[in-house]
């Protein structure tokens, strides 16, 4: 091989190595994005489960509060009836 062909071959080899480095970096970037998306998906699933639990707990607490109000009203009504019944 003459010097010019060798130089062209070395330049081509250098350019191919640069392309390889860029492609490897791009693949690494895509993999990192995939991991980030997976983490976001997991967090979204956890948030969904937590929101369902919150909804269930809120419903339970509302029912308890309603029963407590009804019981307090019944006690007041009972005392009121006793007051007028005794007098």
In the chain, DSSP finds a helix count (H) and a strand count (E) of 1, 0
Sign of CA dihedral 34, 47, 52, 49: positive
Q: What share of the chain has pLDDT > 70, as a percent?
A: 98
Question: pTM of whole model > 0.75?
Answer: no
User: Which pLDDT score is estimated for 85?
Assistant: 86
**Cα angle, residue 51 at apex, residues 50 and 57 outer, rounded to 5°:** 90
pLDDT digits (tens, 9 = 90+) for 7-65: 989 999 999 999 999 999 999 999 999 999 999 989 999 999 999 999 999 999 999 99
User: Which pLDDT score is estimated for 64?
Assistant: 97
Torsion of CA 39, 42, 44, 47, to 10 degrees: -120
Q: Does pLDDT of 1 surpass 70?
A: no
Torsion of CA 73, 79, 81, 84, to 10 degrees: -140
């Amino acid at each position: 091989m003459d010097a010019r062909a060798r130089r062209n071959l070395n330049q081509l080899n250098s350019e191919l190595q640069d392309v390889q480095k860029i492609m490897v970096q791009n693949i690494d970037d895509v993999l990192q994005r995939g991991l980030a998306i997976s983490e976001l998906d997991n967090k979204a699933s956890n948030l969904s489960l937590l929101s369902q639990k919150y909804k269930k707990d809120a419903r339970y607490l509302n029912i308890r509060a309603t029963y407590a109000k009804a019981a307090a009203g019944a006690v007041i009504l009972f005392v009121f009836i006793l007051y007028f019944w005794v007098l």
